[in-house]
Amino acid sequence: MALELSIKDQNQEVELFVRRAITMFVLVVLMLGLIALRLLELQLWNHDTYKSRSDDNHIRVQTLTPPRGMIYDRYGRLLADNQNAASLALTVEDIDELSNTINLLTDLLQLSKEQRTEIYERVETSRRPDVALVVIDSLSESQVARLAVNRHLLPGIEVVNQLVRFYPFGRVAAHAVGSVRRLTDEDLRDADPVQYSATTFIGKRGVEAYYEQQLHGQVGYQKAETDALGRVRKTFDVQSPTPGKALRLHLDIDLQQAGVVALDGRRGAIVALDPRTGGVLAMVSQPAYDPNIFVAGMTEAVFAELRSSSYVPLFNRATNGQYAPGSTFKPIVGMAGLAYGTTTWEQVIEDRGAFQLPGQERVYRDWSWTKDNSGGQGMVDLRRAIYRSSNTYFYDLASRMPIKDLVRFAGEFGLGTNLALDIPAASDGLLPDPVWKQGAKGLPWYPGDSVNMGIGQGDLLATPLQMAVVAATLANRGGRVSPRMLLETFDSNADSIDATAEFAGRAGEVSHPVTQLGLEKVNAEDWENMVQAMEDVVHLGNQGFRGNGTAWAYIGQDIDYRMAGKSGTAQVVEISQGEEYDEETLSEFDRKHAWFIAFAPVQNPTIALAVLVENGGGGSSVAAPVARAVVDAHMAKQQALAPRAAPSSNRFVAR
């Protein structure tokens, strides 16, 4: 078969090539045109839109935490400070696998199980995944170093510096100053979400809580440029935050420390007031807690121990502990008897150690009663009834006084209500009356209820803060003050605080309203006589058996100033008729409470206080020395300031 040869058509080949070339050229031109159009859209037509989207990828608006205002005592000593701390922060949206990152952090930083759990909890409650979230508040130097070396393995993780709260006096001032806690979702429901967008802690107790708005300050802002790993490379457009206001309190940390030392590890409370202003000079509650652990962090075991302790260190006994005031209530009963004409200073009864209501078998005994000795104070008038603390006298007086009169009079002293201006969580105590008893117990008011109330027992309850107000009212001869913690606020940016002794001396003269009790029947002479009777409690001695003031043997023999006081011993559990109180047979928490109220100096007093020692025993033997230690510290300081401080005034502004 012959081979057929074909000859290519040269013209046809050229034409095919040209068509293909033209087609490719057109496609290239179209593609270049599309690219050009896209470039025009990106660079010209929609430039602003895409620039904004680009910026969002690497420029973020960050909120800046305002420095919390500091808290000082009356002499300018720091009670609540801010300290720099290296903290670990993470930005959730910059982390691909959160669990892997936390596992790596656990290995690098040797985190505990509780810390791991806390990190997850903080991430779950995070409000903004694009904002750096602090998950560990305080890092050690070695932890910071390990993070720096492994930074390339941890996108979205950074070490940031933040100011954290620090309480220099720790447990000593915990219940007076209060403390901060980590911000929760519940807190945010009541707080401004914008102002608290960068805030980690919020005031939860005491002054820190009540003055949260002043202490917090105003949030700031800045723009931050970040890299692909979420690390900040540059900041600009910074609007600095405004620091919170600084607070100066009436509190004197020296008196606070003196109170803690005097209690000597016993459970109890001390509240000392400036009777001229109502300023709280000391507020001690023992045992206490270290507020710094709520900032630095604690294990679940530590927190569980705090909450479950039978000694309740988180409980503020000074403001919320409610106790029968015992014999410290007797000056009120005596003044009420004078006001309503139920007794006089001259009226005398015979105290044989027991009292009975007509037609009743129950015997109400004097504190001096024993099985072998009926006790009693002999022939007693009101003055002797105060300095010897005669139960029988006040049983008799209360039984003859209409209960409505006694309740009304006691209410004028602030019992049954919280008079404090900036301690809203303080308890009201209980000032019982027939209406209350019928509603609470479904029972009528019996004569025996009045008898018990005459010596500060029964259903009557008061807080140490309220009894300090009672002491201040007696010191002022009927001028009642409202307790207050705050002395002044000032700008945190101030170059210095006036910490001079002259200021401290003037602080007692700050004008605050003092309420004159609305009891027109009580005259100035009655007030002075009651003060003299309370002065005898401390200073009357060498009077022989059952003649000395009840506190003289314990605090009155070497005192170089004049103090007025009243001891009290409040029964916790009922002792059966005919049975003698035996402390050794009772559990620790069933023993009597020890009270002492006092003020000094007697003329122009500058301090009034109430001391409670829980289950401590005798008021004169146990609580009075505690009061003496605090007043000694105060008087020594007053003497040191005397040449520079303006003279005090005992005049009051009625409202």
Contact, 456 vs 327, CB < 8 A?
yes
Q: What is d(CA 568, CA 589) in angstroms, rounded to the nearest whole number?
A: 17
Query: Residue 298: which residues within 8 A CB-CB, separation 6 or more?
Result: none
For 14, residues 6+ apart whose C-beta sits below 8 A from its C-beta are none
SS3 594: strand
In the structure encoding, which two tokens stand for residue 426, read together?
Answer: 């303080």
Vertex 361, ends 376 and 443: CA angle to 5°? 110
> Is there a contact between 519 and 478 (Cβ–Cβ < 8 Å)?
yes
Contact 535, 383 (CB under 8 A): no
Measured distance CA(2)–CA(638) in Å, rounded: 138
Between CA 439 and CA 432 the distance in angstroms is: 11
DSSP secondary structure letter of residue 279: B
Task: State how far the Cα of 302 lies from the Cα of 182, in Å rounded to an integer.
Answer: 17
> What's the longest Cα–Cα distance across the chain?
162
Residue 316's nearest CA partner among 284, 346, 363, 354 is 284
Task: Give me the sign of the Cα torsion angle 40, 41, 47, 52.
Answer: negative
Active site residues: 327
Say how many CA atoms lie within 13 Å of 355 toward its Cβ.
28
How does strand 246-249 pair with strand 71-72?
parallel
Q: Which residue has the tokens 């005491």?
A: 206
Whose tokens are 């040797």? That residue is: 110
Q: What are phi and psi of 165, to 5 degrees?
A: -70, 140
